[in-house]
Amino acid sequence: MAIQGSCSDQFSAVGEAFSDSLRSGADVGASVAIFLDGEPVVDLWGGYADSERTRPWQRDTITNVWSTTKTMTALCALVLADRGELDLSAPVAKYWPGFGTGAKDRIEIRHLLSHTAGLPDWDQPMTLDDLCDWGKATALLARQSPRWEPGTASGYHRFTHGFLIGEVIRRVCRQSIGTFFADQIAAPLDADFHIGLTAEDDHRVSDVIPPPGPAPAANPRVAIPVSGYVTAKETWSAKWRRAEIPAASGYGNARSVAAVQSLLTSEGQTSRARLLSEATCRAVFDEQSHGTDLVLGIPLRFGVGYALNAGDAPVSTTNPHTCYWGGRGGSLVVNDFDSRMTIAYVMNQMTHLGLTDPRGHKLLQAAYKALTR
């Protein structure tokens, strides 16, 4: 199936790489978008919205992007910080008084955003029903003790990240994070991204397709294992779609991910709105940790809300001022401040490769070649 959308001549190599991925079968249905100086220069989609390959992926098709949702959650916190309503260096307990128990009084907001808070998992097994119960999920975290000294190392907060930051946001602005994101970020940018999906949007959803083959063996460098909790098939349920699980249950496509994240690479100003100051955008580069992540077992350098460019990182570019993150299965967003470029890749066919998925990396490489033309 031919790809659809628009692509500037400069970035034709991105279109070719995207077409190759669909033609080869590496992708079933997918989208890629690039914003340069806050304006779209690539907006492509193609393939199929279902594993049976009967429904074409349309312009408005959306899918669960898993942990790429975390970049949206981080932006919510940055917007509040920019308004002076949230101090990134303040103790979490300043906004969430019950959180300060269990040796957590020294955990700061920036620790939540950088996966260095020592709370990568719950101390008890959690079900999908538990994850959909905001009060229970956050109350349990408030009672826990950190698993390592906060601020000393990163340990990927796979699901807890969104509940921790989301509860702070809820207490600051008296809105759920899904509502805050929709009103304060998605609406001003006219971006089709959702943390908590309404039934009216169900017909547009392309359910994620589980990765083929067995999962790889556990990484021996993982010091602190955490639970996965949710299978790909469980995300096909209305329960998952309706829930606000702001570390993992966001729905969008490459266009909407890039439209929102390009706020950073356009210094907080787009043609539609100014939501951040340049100084707050640059705050993401305040390094919080750099080393082997205790949960993922891979080298990561974390700033505030994003992983940062580094030679030993799974995503590395020639431009130093680059931040990124991706989602389980392969979705990816990269913000390059030096070239003022944001690139996003969103797909339905999952793999086991995560941040090292070659599909997103090939698109990224093609984009950088285009910049040097």
CATH number (domain holding residue 122): 3.40.710.10
Domain boundaries, position 361 = 4-371
Please provide the average confidence, as pLDDT, over all residues in the chain.
97
Q: Is 285 exposed, middle or buried (0-12, 13-18, 19+ CB in 10 A)?
A: middle
Please check the confidence at residue 112 and state whether its pLDDT lies above 70.
yes
pLDDT band at 113 (very low <50, low <70, confident <90, very high): very high
pLDDT tens digits, 25-76: 999 999 999 999 999 999 999 999 999 999 999 999 999 999 999 999 999 9
For residues 332 and 360, the answer to whether their CB atoms sit within 8 Å is: yes
Predicted pLDDT of residue 272: 77
pLDDT digit string, tens, across residues 305-344: 999 999 999 999 999 999 999 999 999 999 999 999 999 9
β-bridge pairing 29-36 and 4-7: unpaired
Our count of domains for the chain comes to: 1
pLDDT of residue 26: 98
8 Å CB contact between 15 and 3: yes
Sheet holding 63-64, edge to edge: 63-64, 250-252, 194-195
Q: How far apart are CA 295 and CA 252, in angstroms?
A: 27
- pLDDT for 373 equals 77
Q: Does residue 273 carry a pLDDT above 90? A: no
Q: Cα(239)–Cα(230) distance, rounded to whole angstroms?
A: 12
Give pLDDT, residue 270.
80
Q: State yes or no: pLDDT of 286 exceeds 80.
A: yes
Q: In this structure, what are the phi and psi dihedrals at residue 301, rounded to the nearest 5 degrees?
A: -120, 115
Three-class HEC string of the chain: CCCEEEECHHHHHHHHHHHHHHHHCCCCEEEEEEEECCEEEEEEEEEECCCCCCCECCCCCEEECECCHHHHHHHHHHHHHHCCCCCCCCEHHHCCHHHHCCCCCCCEHHHHHCCCCCCCCCCCCCCHHHHCCHHHHHHHHHHCCCCCCCCCCCCCCCCHHHHHHHHHHHHHHCCCHHHHHHHHHHHHHCCCCEECCCHHHHHHECCCECCCCCCCCCCCCCCCCCCCCCCCHHHHCHHHHHCCCCCCEEEECHHHHHHHHHHHHCCCECCCCECCCHHHHHHHHCCCEEEECCCCCCEEEECCCCEECCCCCCCCCCCCCEEEEECCCCCEEEEECCCCEEEEEEECECCCCHHHCHHHHHHHHHHHHHHCC
In this predicted structure, what is the pLDDT of residue 228?
Answer: 87
Percentage of the residues of the chain whose pLDDT score is greater than 70: 100
| pLDDT at 247 (0 to 100) | 98
* pLDDT at residue 322, as a whole number: 98
Q: Which residues contact 230 (CB under 8 A, 6 or more apart)?
A: 128, 131, 240, 248
With a cut of 70, say whether residue 304 has pLDDT above it: yes
pLDDT tens profile 194-242: 999 999 999 999 999 999 988 889 899 999 999 988 999 999 999 999 9
Using 50, 70 and 90 to split pLDDT, how confident is the model at 179? very high
The C-alpha atoms of residue 147 and residue 311 are separated, in whole angstroms, by 28
Q: How many CB atoms lie within 10 A of CB 207?
A: 17
**Confidence grade of residue 2 (pLDDT, cut at 50, 70, 90):** confident
**pLDDT value at 1 more than 80:** no
